[in-house]
Amino acid sequence: MRLALREALLAFRRAPMLSALSVTTIAFSLFAFGLFGLVALNIRNALRNVEDRVEIRAFVADGTSAEATSAALGDIGAFPEAASVRLVTQGQALDRARRELGEFSDVFEEGILPASIEVRLKPGFRDPATVRAVAKRIEVYDFVDDIRFGEEWVEKLHRLRNIATLAGVALGLTFAIVAIIIIGSTIRMAVLARAREIAIMRLVGATNGFVRAPFLIEGFLKGTLGGGLALVLAWLALAVINRFVVQASFFDPWMGAVGVVAGACLGLAGSAMSVGRHLQKV
């Protein structure tokens, strides 16, 4: 094991250019992946913020008794999907309209705006289908005149998020494959550069595991270094974006660690692939 580690480190010294090249290619493919991850992360965060505001508003007919509305409030509040339910009286609706419209507030007269029941949903129940189903159940009350829940907008939001997730997964997989191929071929170059040495090792009785070990360690180290470098690059890119474009958030430490481990795994996978193929051939 110590010997294998020494050999792996020696490989860096023997071919510093090639090693630097493979580390940077790993770094750049992971960096591209990471950038996309950051975009997806921030879109998701933004969507979650918007989604928090998803709300069903049921307008209450004039002259509905207070008992009827409060009974309905109790019922709706007991829906498993409901996070909060509250009644906005005519007076409160008017106040709100006046506040929002400022100088035009005079156009509103007492009683012109209906009272409404406003329902917010728990996270996980804010998708269009659930929102519509809940709205339907509220609509059955006789005193409900009209119900709004921003149908198109909830749907658009969701479509956007689905596209973002799908694109993220597709691009992520593509980048992962590209990274494996790049690492595979750099290790392959290293393997070919040492084909003679490998042949001699096998002649004097080295096991395949022994031959493989230094290359696996080399791939692992390069992958880890590449992953770390990618993380640094992503962080720098984010700093630039934060400074000049928008405030965006970075991976939490866990995700960062996952990124570095992903680099290590890519490195291992790539080198295992090329060494395995070489050993099978000779």
Partner 1 sequence: MIRFSHVHKSFARTGVALEDVSFQVNKGEFVFITGPSGAGKSTILKLCFFEERPTKGEVKVYGLSSAAYRNVDVPKLRRRLGIVFQDFRLLEDRNVEANVAFALEVTGAPPSQVGPRVSRLLAQVGLGAKATALPRELSGGEQQRVAIARALANDPVVLVADEPTGNLDERATRGIFQLFRDINASGTAVLMATHDLDLVRRAGCRTIEINRGQMVFDSASDGGFRPSAPAEAMEDDE
Q: Which residues bind partner 1 (CB under 8 A)?
A: 3, 14, 196-197, 199-208, 210
**Alpha-carbon separation of residue 204 from 112, 146, 214, 275 (angstroms):** 96, 86, 17, 19
CA distances from 52 to 76, 123, 210 (A): 19, 8, 56
Nearer to partner 1, 118 or 197 (CB): 197
Q: Count of residues for the chain?
A: 282
Sign of the alpha-carbon torsion through 216, 222, 224, 230: negative
* Residue type (1 letter), 79: F
Closest contact distance (angstroms) between CB of 192 and partner 1 is 16
The answer to whether residues 132 and 149 touch, using CB atoms and an 8 Å cutoff, is: yes
Q: Closer CB to partner 1, residue 126 or residue 194? A: 194
| Residue closer to partner 1, measured from CB, 129 or 199 | 199
The nearest distance, CB 207 to partner 1, in angstroms, is 5
Cβ 203 to partner 1 shortest distance, Å: 5
Taking the CA atoms of residue 129, residue 131, residue 132 and residue 138 in that order, the dihedral angle to the nearest 10 degrees is 150
Among residues 91 and 209, whose Cβ is nearest to partner 1? 209
Give the residue with the Cβ less far from partner 1, 87 or 279.
279
Pull the structure tokens for residue 1.
């094991």
Minimum Å distance from CB 8 to partner 1?
14
Q: Give the whole-angstrom CA distance, residue 124 versus residue 173.
A: 27
Shortest distance, position 2 Cβ to partner 1, whole Å: 8
Nearer to partner 1, 99 or 196 (CB): 196
Distances (CA, A) of 280 to 123, 155, 276: 53, 54, 6
Least distance (Å) between residue 282 CB and partner 1: 9
The amino acid sitting at 178 is: V
Q: What type of residue is 18?
A: L
Given strand 115-121, what is the order of strands in its sheet?
A: 82-88, 115-121, 55-60, 144-148
**Cβ closest to partner 1, residue 208 vs residue 249:** 208
State the nearest-atom distance from the C-beta of 268 to partner 1, in Å.
22
* Residue 15, burial from CB neighbour count under 10 angstroms (0-12, 13-18, 19+): middle
